Structure 1
Amino acid sequence: MSASWPVYRFEEIDSTNTEAKRRAGSGQFDEQWIVAASQSSGRGRQDRVWSSPVGNIFTTALFAEPGGIPVALRVPFAAAMAVVDTVRTFAPDAPVKVKWPNDVRIAQQKVSGILVETGGAGGDLWVAAGTGINVAYVPENVGQAATSLNLLSGQNLELSQVIGVYHSAFEARLAQARRGFESLRRDWLDYAEGRGQEVSVRVGEAFVRGVFEDLELDGALRLRLPDGSTRIIRAGEVSLIGQA
């Protein structure tokens, strides 16, 4: 499997998402992939530094989104499921889970990072969906437990093969997202970490505790609070109670 979109490769770059935004800013946001062997300024969600050693995947899908913001909001879930598809291809026995909205983890160890950014408006809306996948190396000092595809599979995987599988999976999951959210939502819930369990969600500087009940039709998290009321959360950082 491989990408159907053109692929632009760099030995080293500041970050693939930053390059995607440069291209989009100059009007170049036809469907394309940007791949780097290493990044000097890799970024994760909430402006966290993303460690970028050679041997791991750093790639961004850049594309126009005619479906507008409603479809763009589904892209983090599509990207997460593409990572799940990739993990299952190379490590089919790994107990892979997704922590809302798009942290793919195995036994609470993170294997990927996803950062989706958008710009433009209307017919010129573009999406840059960046993904880092640990293949050969487990980054150190990243603030949480991590793992890699090589560790999960027990093999020294060929990086180009893994990239091809991920690119193909993402393109398929994006097509699924564009058809509607319900099918993607059901697939995501099959791998949802903590569903039916009590979780803590950091919202700004506050923490909200409740049982993770469901995923709303726009991708928001539905919590059942201790007093029985419902809280819908559209942005936050989830932790399982008693776990990282």
Structure 2
Amino acid sequence: MRPDTPVQWHASIDSTNEEARRLAQAGHYGPIWIAAREQTAGRGRLGRQWSSPTGNLYCTALFLEPGGIQVATRFPFAAGLAIADICAQIAPDAPVKLKWPNDVRVDGAKLCGILVEAGAGPGGASWVAAGMGTNVQSAPEAVGQSATCLKDMVPGAPLDADLVMEAIRPAFAKRIAQARDDFPGLLNDWLTFAEGLGETVRIGKDVSAKVGRFVGLESDGGLRLELPNGAVEIIRAGDVELVREVG
């Protein structure tokens, strides 16, 4: 991705990630940004619905990754850092945190959700659809958690989806390049924003939930969970949620 990768805007669309998937399956791999002012069938991880009212930004970067799926798995970290980077520009005093594996939060409230999908491309490459739903002007309640928006973080600032889209393009290009060339450095940067690092956390929400201390990341981005018996378990499953232990 380049900082000047073109943007294909839609007034309304079912889902920017779905549009990226349609393009890729038709043999069109970009690079291109697909952006929308409204989604009628937005979705997040695990098929959850993503509330997508007008005024917020829904965008997906579609591009080919020559390194295949192994490299594409790094991109949720790159996307989260890109959003953190633009928050540092727009709202430098906001306590932005990255919740493993792919949420951007402020004071425990969700600001941005990230959904990175990939599939087989030509010549051993993978197509990647890196979707980001960022609350710009309103904060719709996310599933099971509170939400915030950029407008609330910087009251009175002239923020809209177009301005945020222009900020995301160079920030994402920079972090994607870092993910490819210096993934250890990217993970170190990510850890500076990590929510719950060094604290007791719960992984999962049902009877199989695991409780321990979030002590860092593996070289591939897996979460290192120190269990009460001192053993360290690596969490990599796609359906893992990170929830702070109360009390």
Q: Same fold (TM over 0.5)?
A: yes
Q: Residues 203 and 240 (structure 1 numbering): CA distance in 2 closer, same or farther, change over 3 Å? A: closer
Match in the other structure for 1:125: 126
Match in the other structure for 2:246: 242
Instruction: Please list the CA deviations of residues 128-182 of structure 1 after superposition, one character each: whole Å capped at 9, or x if unmatched.
Output: 0000000001113642110000100112413211111012111111011010311
Match in the other structure for 1:60: 60
The CA distance in 1 between the partners of 2:48 and 2:54, in whole Å, is: 19
Paired residues of 1:119 and 1:126 also in contact (CA < 8 A): yes
Q: Which runs of no fewer than 5 residues in structure 1 stay unpaired?
A: none
Alignment of 1:14-163 (within 5 A): 14-120=14-120, 123-140=124-141, 142-154=143-155, 155-163=157-165
The CA distance in 2 between the partners of 1:53 and 1:65, in whole Å, is: 31
> Residue 214 of structure 1: SS of its match in structure 2?
strand
The CA distance in 1 between the partners of 2:36 and 2:223, in whole Å, is: 33
The CA distance in 1 between the partners of 2:179 and 2:142, in whole Å, is: 34
Paired residues of 1:62 and 1:127 also in contact (CA < 8 A): yes
Match in the other structure for 1:178: 180
> Residue 43 of structure 1: SS of its match in structure 2?
coil
Query: What is the number of residues matched between the two proteins?
Result: 242
Match in the other structure for 2:210: 208
Aligned-pair CA distance for 1:125 = 1.1
Using the size of structure 2 for normalisation, the TM-score is 0.94
Runs of at least 4 residues of structure 1 off by over 2 A? 121-124, 140-143
> Residue 111 of structure 1: SS of its match in structure 2?
strand
Aligned-pair CA distance for 1:204 = 7.8
The CA distance in 2 between the partners of 1:174 and 1:124, in whole Å, is: 16
Paired residues of 1:222 and 1:230 also in contact (CA < 8 A): yes
> Residue 206 of structure 1: SS of its match in structure 2?
coil
Aligned-pair CA distance for 1:205 = 5.9
State percent identity of aligned pairs. 50
> Residue 52 of structure 1: SS of its match in structure 2?
coil
Using the size of structure 1 for normalisation, the TM-score is 0.95
The CA distance in 2 between the partners of 1:50 and 1:203, in whole Å, is: 20
Paired residues of 1:51 and 1:142 also in contact (CA < 8 A): no
The CA distance in 2 between the partners of 1:10 and 1:161, in whole Å, is: 16
Q: Which amino acid aligns with 2:130?
A: A
Q: Residues 14 and 189 (structure 1 numbering): CA distance in 2 closer, same or farther, change over 3 Å? A: same
The CA distance in 2 between the partners of 1:197 and 1:141, in whole Å, is: 24
Bigger drift between 234-243 and 125-134 goes to 234-243
Q: Residues 124 and 141 (structure 1 numbering): CA distance in 2 closer, same or farther, change over 3 Å? A: closer
Q: Which runs of no fewer than 5 residues in structure 2 stay unpaired?
A: none
Aligned-pair CA distance for 1:49 = 0.4
Instruction: Please list the CA deviations of residues 85-142 of structure 1 after superposition, one character each: whole Å capped at 9, or x if unmatched.
Output: 1111111000111110121111100000100101115524111000000000111364
RMSD of aligned residue pairs (Cα, Å): 1.6
The CA distance in 2 between the partners of 1:208 and 1:142, in whole Å, is: 21
Q: Which amino acid aligns with 1:173?
A: R
